[in-house]
Amino acid sequence: MEARLEEAVCPFCSLACDDLHLKRTERGGVALVGPECPLARTGYIEAGTDEDLPPRIDGQAVAESAAIERAAALIASSAAPLVAGLAAEVDGVRAALALADACGAALDHLRAEGLMRLLLPLIERGAVQTTLSELRNRADLVLVLGPDPRRIAPRLIERALPPTGLFVQEAAPRRILFIGGVPETELAPHLSVQVIPAPTHRLAELAGALARLIAGKALPRPEIAGVPAARLAELAQQMRDARYGVALFAPALLEGAEPELAVAAILHLIQELNRTTRWSALPVAGGDGLIGASQAMLWQSGVPLRSRFTPEGPRFAPHRLAADRLLREREADLLIWISAFRPAPPPEASVPMIALAHPETRFARPPEVFLPVGVPGVDHGGAAFRMDGVVALPLAPARASTRKSAAGLLAAIHRALPMVAR
Amino acid sequence: MSRVLRLVGGRVYDPANGVDGELRDLWIEDGRIIADPGAEVPKHDTIDISGRIVMAGAIDLHSHIAGGKVNLGRALMPEDHHGHAHGAHGRLRSGSGAATPSTFSTGHRYALMGYTAAFEPAMVPANARHTHLELADTPMIDKGVYAMLGNDDLLFRLIQSGAVQEEINDYVAFMLEATQAIAVKTVNPGGISAFKFNQRKLDLDEPNAHYGVTPRHILLRLARAVAEIGLAHPLHVHCNNLGVPGNVETTVKTIEAVEGWPIHLTHVQFHCYGTEGDRRFSSGATRIVEMLQRHSNLSIDVGQVMFGQTMTESGDTMAQFGNRVLAEPERWLCMDIECEAGCGLVPFRYRDRSFVNALQWAIGLELFLTAPDPWRIFLTTDHPNGAPFTFYPRLIRLLMDRDFRAEMLARIHPAARRHSGLAEIAREYTLFEIAILTRAAPARALGLADRGHLGPGAAADITVYVDDADRERMFGHPVLVLKDGRVVVRDGRIVAEAHGATNVVRPEHDPAIAGRIERFFAEHMTVRLPHFRVSEAEIESRGGRIQVRETRRRSGAA
């Protein structure tokens, strides 16, 4: 695939901005020219040079074929392999799932915790959701609940809330309200911003109170989580009066003992608002290929991440199959760590490790097998899902590179895997 | 040259070639059927299928098998997957799900039922790359997708700006190519958009609150565009007012609204309700059958309801938001999508002891059993909306076996039995007619010239059944299935995994339309047009194969 430096698609968060201008630097490096974004800037810097790095066995450089053979042998002799990290573009994930299915592995993603906070309430009650282009063109009122989601998707508001949209005119500018969080970086002057101070860890109560008000019921106390009832009533009225409201929140950033209760309360509030007007939720999740991994897992196996390929078929067990727990409780005897976008540190593990990871990854001890992989959208192409789960964009390489894709290396390991009796 | 294969002694049902149960051998070479070589018999392998029934591989022209809403359905119903999981077997991947099966399971189950093609009928254009990714992981069958148009702000703005029909045609052709689709579907035309403006219902002549455009106008423009750019398949229409008692009037008016241009009405069962009787809910099947008799430009598929748990997945957010009160288990999801469309998911359990569900079941069967022309009616359950596609063998038995039908009818809600004319219908479908409904007719309707039949030149997609009086057992367990000449299923087991083609069309159009669409994307969308488009190379890089189907451009009134 031909390398692209203009209108490049950014692989480093789930906004998947496709307007990047890149440039080549010395020794095959790639740098962001603009538009500015801290995650993109760091991501391209970390991708480093195009130097071809050798695979390693126990820290010693080896031929690729030897590393692949060793990886296949480790997998073949494992009784309970765990594929974790799973930070790859969609084709890398597809290859990882094929391998996991062949060896009966459990699967987790390094950002699955935030995904589970969304998924479990979703299974309980459902949701009303929307996508980025709807937000951009319809939203006249945006409610941001909890910490500023731009920590996960820095250009979210810049990209999705310009001064006008198809149905948003300058004469009636859109309003953006923060509750339980504050804008952490500057917002464009065209946005009418209000902040309702409230404790971040009490969003479940606040969203519940708003739902009561929307349903026409009175609040039981003069204040909820420190916010006066009258202020909440005013907010509820604003929400009812919106033509098309959108609730933005980042499940992974929510605080408190049970963040999924806050997510459940928000999803319920948005569903209730739709009795009379239109509101949607847009959960801001992703990064490290999370959304694509979640989607591919669902279509290939029928079940979400944090599942295991058992002899009886894929089994979903969101609490039991968290990678940290499996490693801590020694319910996994082999860690297959995949992290292609950035040098994410692998979890502490006393079991053997096969790492298909970013070349800059730092390990506490040398993994049994380390196959450095290229960065998707820098060294090779692929596909990347956006946070809304609807739009997948094509990734193109930004340089001519001999670094291997996770997809290719995983397929090679899979081919080398002797057919093991399951 | 590859070796010739001969299937000996089968009883062949091949309606496209007028063959009705004749004993004849089939000769296969390089994945295709060849003419009987006569006296000069080449070296060949033989499979003896004496006494067996032979048909072309079956084709499902409306089945929600891939893409965003299907995957949301999987996420929303872990119960459907926990109870229906299977492990990997040799090189065959594991999977799970009854109503919303995973992709590998979908392909495997279709093949095990003798189906060799299925079409995803509701792809939101913005979701095209995702949909094709899922289809890349759907083995065994040929596939294709219908692009959902008619609720997108791009089309509304074209219409509002006074676009002539030629421009609409160019836009439709462009969207088909950009999303690698084979046909055009419109879902609740105008209604999904109207719901975004907080309209809660939309009749055929009711204007969109923002644009002032009516469903009638959209239908006419799109039906004409599809015909003029020369697609084999007419505009595939999910009418306004899905599920609403009395909606048969909307359906009848929809047929008339397209002014003679070809039209396919999908899952008509859900659009076939009257308001007669003490419960204000009755069958409109006779009205639809009348329309089929009067309008040769009309075809339908049924969307048969079968009893049990399923998940309903539709682009029709307006209808699904209304249906949320019927959710079982109690959860529902609606989503507005990219200024193009939307989707709504509501889990559903159809019960034979529910008056409404039982009458829905009976209405579907009335449509099948009284339709005048088997070439213009197709066998679907609108998988998974009426039932999972794995219910097809039972549905075929209901059509072929009057006693079985009577037995089932005796079990349903008594008032539904009284409200339906089903008990009086004696018709039993023949094998020849079943072969039309499930093979010959859908192949013709989609322009798949080399599929759905067994004449020389046809692809050797072949299904062989035991002639079993229990038609459910017979159609559920073919003894032999060939895909492109290769044996893929034998005695109820997958013996080889095939990978089918992705069927697409490439209608001619003025490339100038791309500039206009590119500007719309750059100014309003959050993706640029080059990244919206799905290339052939992407599909091929994932092991896919593109099969371009013929289009015949035409112009002027019908």
Nearest CA in chain A to B211: A167
Q: How far from each other are the two terminal CA atoms of chain A, in whole angstroms?
A: 38
How many percent of chain A have pLDDT more than 70? 99
CB-CB: which of B85, B137, B331 is closest to A312? B85
d(CA B502, CA A349): 44
Q: Does B41 touch chain A (CB under 8 A)?
A: no
CA distances from A199 to A113, A196, B531 (A): 22, 10, 40
**A312 and A226 in one domain?**
no
- pLDDT of amino acid B553: 87
Q: Are residues A208 and A301 in the same domain?
A: no
A207 and A278, same domain (yes or no): yes
Query: How far, CA to CA in Å, does B305 sit from each of A152, A243, B246, B419?
Result: 44, 37, 18, 17
Q: Examine the domain organization and report whether A86 and A170 are in the same domain.
A: no
pLDDT at A277 over 70: yes
In a domain, A234, yes or no: yes
**CA pair distance A38, A12, nearest whole angstrom:** 10
Chain B nearest C-alpha distance from A77 (Å): 18
C-alpha to C-alpha distance for A32 and A28, rounded to whole angstroms: 13
Confidence at B554, pLDDT banded by 50, 70, 90: confident
Percent pLDDT > 90 in chain A is 94
pLDDT of residue A177: 97
Sign for the pseudo-dihedral over CA of B511, B513, B514, B519: positive
> pLDDT digits over A385-411, tens only?
999 999 999 999 999 999 999 999 999
Integer CA distances (angstroms), A222 to B20, B456, B462, in order: 80, 82, 73
- Rounded to the nearest angstrom, the minimum Cα separation between A316 and chain B is 8
Give me the mean pLDDT over the B20-48 stretch: 96
Where among A234, A256, A283 does a domain terminate?
A283
CB–CB contact B93 A300 (8 Å): yes
Whether B87 contacts chain A with CB within 8 A = yes
Q: How many domains does chain A have?
A: 2
pLDDT in tens, B128-147: 999 999 999 999 999 999 99
Which has the closest alpha carbon to B284: B253, B329, B328, B330? Answer: B253
Task: State the residue for tokens 């950014």.
Answer: A10
Residue B557 identity: A
The pLDDT-based confidence of A418 (bands split at 50, 70, 90) is: confident
Q: Which of A283, A301, A322 is the last residue of a domain?
A: A283
Beta carbons within 10 angstroms of residue A7's beta carbon: 14
Q: Is A233 found in the same domain as A122?
A: yes
Q: Each residue of A178-231: pLDDT tens digit?
A: 999 999 999 988 889 999 999 999 999 999 999 999 999 999 999 999 999 999
The position carrying tokens 């299928």 is B49
Residue % of chain B over a pLDDT of 90: 97
Same domain, A103 and A142: no
Please judge whether B526 and A129 are an interchain contact, meaning their C-beta atoms are less than 8 angstroms apart.
no
Strand order in the sheet with A175-179: A192-196, A175-179, A141-145, A244-249, A278-283, A126-129, B332-337, B341-350, B308-314
B481 φ, ψ to 5°? Answer: -135, 130
pLDDT band at residue B555 under the 50/70/90 scheme: low
Of A94, A298, A391, the CB nearest to B126: A391
Task: Kindly write down the DSSP assignment for every residue of B157-171, as one continuous string.
Answer: HHHHTT--HHHHHHH
Quote the pLDDT of residue B37: 93
Say whether A126 and B76 touch across the interface (CB within 8 A).
Answer: yes
Asked whether the beta carbons of B467 and B23 are under 8 A apart, the reply is no
Interface of B with A in 201-230 (CB under 8 A): 210
Asked whether residue A329 falls in the same domain as residue A363, the answer is: yes
Statement: residue B556 has pLDDT above 60: no
Residue A101 sits in a domain whose CATH number is: 3.40.50
Q: Are A130 and A160 in contact (CB under 8 A)?
A: no
Helix (H) or strand (E) holding B133: helix B128-136
Instruction: Please answer yes or no on whether A390 and B531 come within 8 Å at the CB atom.
Output: no
Using only C-alpha atoms, chain B has a radius of gyration, in whole angstroms, of: 23
Measure the CA–CA gap between A59 and A57, rounded to whole angstroms: 5
Q: For residue A189, report the phi and psi dihedrals to the nearest 5 degrees.
A: -65, -20
In this complex, how many residue pairs, one in chain A and one in chain B, have their CB atoms less than 8 Å apart?
Answer: 199
CB of B536 within 8 Å of a chain A CB? The answer is: no
How far apart (Å, rounded) are the C-alpha atoms in residues A229 and A222? 5
Q: How far apart are CA A23 and CA A33, in angstroms?
A: 6
B195 and A128 in contact (C-beta within 8 Å)? no
Provide the domain limits for residue A166.
Answer: 115-283
Specify the pLDDT at position A264.
98
Residues B142-166: tens digit of each pLDDT: 999 999 999 999 999 999 999 999 9
Q: Which two tokens stand for residue B48?
A: 């003896």
Residues 471-510 of B with CB under 8 A from A: none
Tell me whether residues B336 and A134 touch, CB distance under 8 A: yes
| Cβ of residue A351 closer than 8 Å to a chain B Cβ | no
Given a contact cutoff of 8 angstroms between Cβ atoms, the answer to whether B205 and B216 are in contact is: yes
Which one of A124, A274, A278 has the shortest CB-CB distance to B331? A124
**Helix (H, G, I), strand (E, B), or coil: what is residue B127?**
helix
A334 shares a domain with A306? yes
- Closest partner residue to B81 (CB to CB) among A122, A134, A302 is A302
**Residue pLDDT, tens place only, A89-109:** 999 999 999 999 999 999 999
How do residues A334-359 score in pLDDT, each as one tens digit?
999 999 999 999 999 999 999 999 99
pLDDT band at B301 (very low <50, low <70, confident <90, very high): very high
In this predicted model, which residue has the larger pLDDT, B185 or A422? B185
pLDDT at site A256:
85
pLDDT tens for each residue of B163-190: 999 999 999 999 999 999 999 999 999 9
Residue A390 maps to a domain: no
pLDDT surpassing 70 at residue B558: no
**Set of chain A residues whose Cβ sits within 8 Å of the Cβ of B96:** 301-303, 313-314
CATH number of A228's domain: 3.40.228.10
DSSP string covering B408-459, please? HHTTS-HHHHHH--GGG------HHHHHIIIIIHHHHHHT-TTSS--STTSB
Same domain, A268 and A361: no
Q: In this complex, do A309 and B94 lie within 8 Å of one another by their Cβ atoms? A: yes
> Would you call A191 helix, strand, or coil by DSSP?
coil
CA distance B129 to chain A (A): 6
Query: For residue B102, which residues of chain A lie inside 8 Å, CB to CB?
Result: 298-302, 314
Burial zone of A263 (CB within 10 Å; 0-12 exposed, 13-18 middle, 19+ buried): buried
* Contact between B494 and B114 (Cβ < 8 Å): no
Chain B residue numbers touching A415 (CB-CB < 8 A): none
Identify the bridge partners of residue B13 per DSSP, sorted by sequence position: B20
The SS3 call for residue B321 is helix
Does any CB of chain B come closer than 8 Å to the CB of residue A191? no
* E-assigned strand segments in B83-170: 85-86, 95-96, 115-123, 142-148
Torsion, Cα A132 A137 A143 A147, to 10 degrees, reads: 40
Do A217 and A170 belong together in one domain?
yes
Best of A20, A299, A315, A422 to substitute, by most chain B Cβ atoms within 10 angstroms, is: A299
Alpha-carbon distance B336 to nearest alpha carbon in chain A (angstroms) = 5
Q: Is B11 on the interface with A (CB under 8 A)?
A: no
- In angstroms, what separates the C-alpha of A54 from chain B's closest C-alpha? 26
Half-sphere exposure of B215 (CA within 13 A, CB side): 27
* Residue in chain A nearest B321 by alpha carbon: A274
pLDDT at position B557 is: 46
Q: What is the pLDDT of residue B188?
A: 98
Question: In this complex, do B538 and A422 lie within 8 Å of one another by their Cβ atoms?
Answer: no
pLDDT of residue A343: 98
Per-domain boundaries in chain B? 56-494
**Total Cβ atoms within 10 A of residue B508:** 12
Last residue of a domain, one of A237, A268, A283: A283
What does the pLDDT look like over B43-63, one tens digit per residue?
999 999 999 999 999 999 999
Using CA coordinates, name the residue in chain B closest to A305.
B75
A120 and A216 co-located in one domain: yes
Question: Residues in chain A, how many?
Answer: 422
Name the β-bridge partners of A227. Answer: A224
Whether B76 contacts chain A with CB within 8 A:
yes
> In this structure, are A360 and A299 located in the same domain?
yes
**A399 exposure class (CB count in 10 Å sphere: 0-12, 13-18, 19+):** buried
Mutation to test the B interface, candidates A391, A405, A415, A422, most B Cβ within 10 Å:
A391
Instruction: Establish if A200 belongs to a structural domain.
Output: yes
Taking the Cβ of residue B101 and every Cβ of chain A, the question of whether any pair is shorter than 8 Å is answered with yes
Report helix, strand and coil shares of chain A as percent, to nearest 5.
35, 20, 45
Question: B336–A422: do the CB atoms touch at under 8 Å?
Answer: no
CA-based nearest residue to A339, from A326, A354, A329: A354
Q: Say yes or no to pLDDT of A421 above 70.
A: no
Question: Is B200 in CB contact (< 8 Å) with chain A?
Answer: no
Chain A residues whose CB is inside 8 A of the B345 CB are 126
pLDDT band (50, 70, 90) for residue B20: very high
The residue length of chain B stands at 558
- What Cα–Cα distance (Å) separates residue A161 from each residue in A15, A47, A114, A135, A248? 13, 30, 24, 7, 12
In a domain, A366, yes or no: yes
Q: Please indicate whether, in this complex, the C-beta atoms of A127 and B195 are within 8 angstroms of each other.
A: no
For B348-373, the pLDDT digits (tens) are 999 999 999 999 999 999 999 999 99
pLDDT for A1 beyond 70: no
Q: In Å, how far is B542's CA from the nearest CA of chain A?
A: 8
E strand or H helix that includes residue B174: helix B165-179
DSSP state of A26: G
SS3 B317: helix
Put simply, the answer to whether A389 touches B72 (Cβ < 8 Å) is: yes
Q: Which two tokens stand for residue A398?
A: 């930004």
CA distance B457 to chain A (A): 35
Judged by a CB distance cut-off of 8 A, whether residue A94 touches chain B is yes
Minimal C-alpha gap between A193 and chain B (Å): 22
Task: Give the pLDDT confidence score for residue B439 in this predicted structure.
Answer: 98
Evaluate the CA torsion angle A351, A99, B129, B63 in order and state its sign.
Answer: negative
Q: How far is B207 from chain A (nearest CA, A)?
A: 17
B333: chain A residues, CB-CB within 8 Å: 122, 126-129
Give the ipTM.
0.97
Among the partner-chain residues A274, A304, A315, the one whose CB lies closest to the CB of B75 is A304
Q: Using CA atoms, how far apart are residues B120 and B126, in angstroms rounded to an integer?
A: 15
* Count of CB atoms situated within 10 Å of the CB of B332: 23
